Amino acid sequence: MGDLDCFNQLVSRWERPIYALAFRTLGREEEARDVVQEAFLRAFRGLKGFRGQAKFSSWLYRITLNLCRDWIRRERRAPVVQLAEGVDPIEVADERMAPTESVEDLVARKEMSEAVARAMSELPEEQRIAILLKEFHGLTFQEIADQLDCPLSTVKTRLYQGLSVLRRRLERRQAEEASLRRAHWEGSST
Amino acid sequence: MCNEREKLIGYLYDEGDSSERDAVRQHLETCGECRVEIASLRSVREDLAAWEVPEHGSVWRPFAAAPTPPWWQHVPQWALAAAAGFVLVAGAAGGAVTHAFMPHGSQAVQTSPAGATRVSDTAELAGLQRQIEQLRADLVAASNRTQPAGVTTVPVMDDASHKALVRELDELRIQTYNQSLAVESIYANLGQSRKDFVASLGRLRSQVEGMAAVLEARSSGGQQ
C-alpha cells in the first residue's frame, strides 16, 4: 500500500472529528471546510517529516488549531454562531427527528445547541479550545497541554474558568427564557 | 480543598492521581459547597453535549497520484530564465563582435545604400525579438503543461483543493511571465548599452582625431 492510500485512509478516519473541531472553533461552516482541506494538504506535504514521534491525530489537531488561530487573527473576529437564514427550526427538527423524539424536544435540543454555541463563542479563545479538546475530542489534560504549549495546571485552570463562565451564561439564559414564558402566559391569560 | 480547582477538575473528568481523587471524594462528603460546585459543572457538561455539528458531506476527496512531469519541468524557473538570458547575451555579444570586425571602411560605406547599417541592426533586433518570443512561449508552455498530451485523468479532487492547485499554477505562470519580462528588459538594457558604447567610441574617435590634428599642426608649425 502506497503513501497515498495510507494517507487517504487516515483522512477518512479523521475527517469528521477534524471538521467538528474546526467548526466549533470558528463557528462557520464554509471556513471550517477550508481549514480541513488546508489541514490535510499540509499534513500530506509534511508527511515525510512526521516521524511518528507523536500520534497522527495529535499532529493533525495541532495543524488544525494553528490554522483556526491564524484565521481568527487574520479576520480579527471571534467565532460566530451560524444560524441558517430562512430555515424553520421545526422543519429542521422534523427532518432529523428520531422515531422516539417529539418535535418539541427536537426544537428544544436545537435551541440548546445554539445557546451553547453562542456561550462558547463568547469565551476567550484558549478556554474555548481547552473545553473543545476535552469535551468533544477526549484528550487528556497532558495532551491538551501539549497542544496548547502550556503547563498542565494551566489547562485545568482554563477548563475550570471556562466551564464556570458557561454555567453562569446558560443559567442566565434559562432564567430569561422562563421569564419570557411567564410573560407570554400572563399576556395570553388576560 | 475548596479553593483547589485543579483537584475538582481532575475529579470531574476522572483523570489524574487516584489518591487525589479519593481525597476529593472524601472532602465532598463533608463539604456542601463543593458538592454544589461539582454538580453544576456536571450539568454544564451535559449542556455541552447538546452542541451539534451541522450535517455535512465529505469535505475531502482522496488524492490521486500526479502524472510524472517530463525532465525539463524539474529544471527551476530561474535556471530556465538564466539560460534564456545567457542565449540572448551570447547572441547580442556575437552580433556586437561581428559588427566590430566587419569591414565598414569608406568603400563599404560608399558602395552601400544609405541607411544599410541601420537596416542590419533592425534585422538583428527583429531576429532577437523572435528568439525572445519563442523563449517566452516555451516558458509559458512549460508552466502550463501539467501532464503529457493525450493522457486524460479522472478528476478526483474536490473544488477547494483544485482551486488551491490552480492558484499555485497561476502563481507559477505569473512568475514565468515576470521572468520573461526580465529577460526582455535585460535585452533592452543591453541594446541601450551597445548604443551608448558605440556613441562613446565615436566620441573617443573624434577626440583622438582632434588630438592628432593638433599634434600634426604643432609639429608642422615647429618645423616651420
pLDDT tens track for B161-175: 667 777 777 777 777
A170 and B58: CB-CB below 8 Å?
Answer: no
Q: Is the pLDDT of residue B151 over 70?
A: no
Residues A118/A100, Cβ–Cβ less than 8 Å:
no
Q: Tell me the residues of chain A between 15 and 44 that have a Cβ less than 8 Å away from chain B.
A: 15, 19-20, 23-24, 29, 33-34, 36-38, 40-41, 44
Give the residue among B88, B84, B91, B93 at the shortest CA–CA distance from B136.
B84
Q: Is the pLDDT of residue A154 over 80?
A: yes
pLDDT digits (tens, 9 = 90+) for A33-83: 999 999 998 988 887 777 666 788 888 999 999 999 999 888 766 566 555
Range name among A149-158, A168-177, B103-112, B133-142 with the lowest pLDDT average: B103-112
Whole-prediction pTM value? 0.55
A160 and B50: CB-CB below 8 Å?
Answer: no
B59 and A37: CB-CB below 8 Å?
Answer: yes
Averaged pLDDT score across all residues of chain B: 74
User: CA A161 to CA A101: how far, in whole Å?
Assistant: 34
Contact residues, chain B, for A140 at CB < 8 Å: 15
pLDDT of residue A126: 93
pLDDT of residue B14: 93
Domain ranges of chain B: 5-43, 71-102+116-147+155-196
Question: Which 3 state secondary structure label does DSSP give B155?
Answer: coil
pLDDT of residue A119: 93
Closest approach of A114 to chain B, Cα-based (Å): 7
Question: Which 3 state secondary structure label does DSSP give A160?
Answer: helix
Upper half-sphere CA count for residue B95 (Cβ side, 13 Å) = 21
Model ipTM value: 0.78
Residue whose C-alpha cell reads 484528550 in the numeric block: A139
- Classify domain A1-78 at the CATH topology level: Rna Polymerase Sigma Factor; Chain: A (1.10.1740)
Residues A23/B53, Cβ–Cβ less than 8 Å:
yes
User: CA B84 to CA B184: how far, in whole Å?
Assistant: 10
User: CB of A61 within 8 Å of any CB in chain B?
Assistant: no
pLDDT digits (tens, 9 = 90+) for B184-212: 778 778 888 888 888 888 888 888 888 88
Closest approach of B16 to chain A, Cα-based (Å): 9
Looking at the partner chain, which of A41, A131, A134 has a beta carbon nearest the beta carbon of B164? A41
pLDDT of residue B154: 43
Confidence of residue A7 (pLDDT cuts 50, 70, 90): confident
Q: Is the pLDDT of residue B115 over 70?
A: no
Contact residues, chain A, for B8 at CB < 8 Å: 160
Cα angle at A167 between A164 and A172, to 5 degrees? 130
Closest approach of A112 to chain B, Cα-based (Å): 6
Highest mean pLDDT among A2-6, A124-128, B6-10, B154-158: A124-128
Highest mean pLDDT among A40-49, B61-70, B142-151, B165-174: A40-49
Looking at the partner chain, which of B50, B56, B164 has a beta carbon nearest the beta carbon of A112? B50
Confidence of residue B114 (pLDDT cuts 50, 70, 90): very low
User: CA B164 to CA B137: how far, in whole Å?
Assistant: 25
User: CB of A14 within 8 Å of any CB in chain B?
Assistant: no
B6 and A157: CB-CB below 8 Å?
Answer: yes
B40 and A167: CB-CB below 8 Å?
Answer: yes
